[in-house]
Amino acid sequence: MIDSNKKLILIAGPTAVGKTSYAIKLAQEHNTEIISTDSRQFYRELKIGTATPTKEELAAAPHHFIGNLSISDYYNVSIYEKEAIIKIEELFKTHDTVIAVGGSGLYIDALCYGIDNLPDAEPKLRQEIKDKFAKYGIEYLQDEVRKLDPKYFENADIQNHKRLQRALEVCIQTGKTYSSQRSEKKQVRDFEIEKIVLNMPREILYDRINKRVDIMIEEGLIDEVKALIPYKDLNALNTVGYKELFQHFNNEISLEQAITDIKTHSRRYAKRQITWVKRYEDFNWKTL
């Protein structure tokens, strides 16, 4: 039964739209705390390139799931769902409202609707798929998923390599289609969820993204990434802002090209985030 006295306000939207400042404002209005659903900001080593909230922002409202992991830690969305729900229930003991904010669609889905309890891939299989993706590109993942699970492929975000990789892992490891093992039944949380998506005109958003990348460079992103070169093969570092600079340090592209690519890939990521949220009818759109 839903407790109408307890509410989770979820703030979603594309990168650079202003989710952090909006969430802090809401948290202060409700005298409450914030749960992050941004899977890139979980890792304490990734600060500049993931636009982690500043010290001032973290001091303005208590945040959870920010810098709580190391890039070498094992973590997945199922663990996140369990930990986040426990934290929310803990916060509801002293607050009627809790704020959740972030742009990682899979983690938002897990928080709101639950995640299917599918088997983790064996490390050897996961690495084999990652190696082939690195060698042949996303077309490899698309072709394999199309062959092994055409039903899932029809409705999947086929530009999201992580989703495709996960589907392929499950298909190969279990010998069954990924779609047949996914539950269509959503979890019903015992608290109200109000969903808000922030957006702004595309040209303004893209300009904000470009300027934010320039600020990241000024704040030391190049040195941050350079220090992480020994760990560049970790999954946590297969992230916009890091992988492009790794290519530069590997003498594959110039620094200028790496920065241009970060901006391009960030804009594409923002577009995918908007596409993801458009699948749902229960989000309230707020134009900034």
Per-residue pLDDT tens digits for 218-266: 999 999 999 999 999 888 898 999 999 999 999 999 999 999 999 999 9
* CB-based contact 42:226 (threshold 8 Å): no
Are 257 and 82 in contact, with CB atoms under 8 Å apart? no
Which domains are delineated in the chain?
Answer: 3-116+186-200+273-287 (3.40.50.300), 123-181 (1.10.20.140), 202-270 (1.10.287.890)
Q: Which amino acid is located at 269 in the chain? A: Y
Buried-exposed string 245-267: b where 16+ CB fall within 10 A, e elsewhere: bbbbbeeebeeeebbebbbebbb
What pLDDT is stored for residue 48 in this prediction? 97
Q: Find where tokens 């303004």 sit.
A: 204
What per-residue confidence (pLDDT) applies to 1? 59
Q: Model pTM?
A: 0.83
pLDDT in tens, 104-115: 988 999 999 988
Low-confidence ranges of the chain (pLDDT < 50): none
pLDDT of residue 23: 98
What is the pLDDT at residue 11?
A: 98
Question: 270 near 15, Cβ under 8 Å?
Answer: yes
Q: What is the predicted pLDDT for the residue at 106?
A: 85
Cα–Cα distance for residue pair 273/269, rounded to 1 Å: 6
Predicted confidence at residue 279, as pLDDT, reads 85
Tally of CA atoms within 13 A in the half-sphere of 90 that contains its CB: 10
Residues 266 and 242: their CA atoms lie apart, in Å, by 11
Give the pLDDT confidence of 54-73 residue by residue, as tens digits. Answer: 999 999 999 999 999 999 99
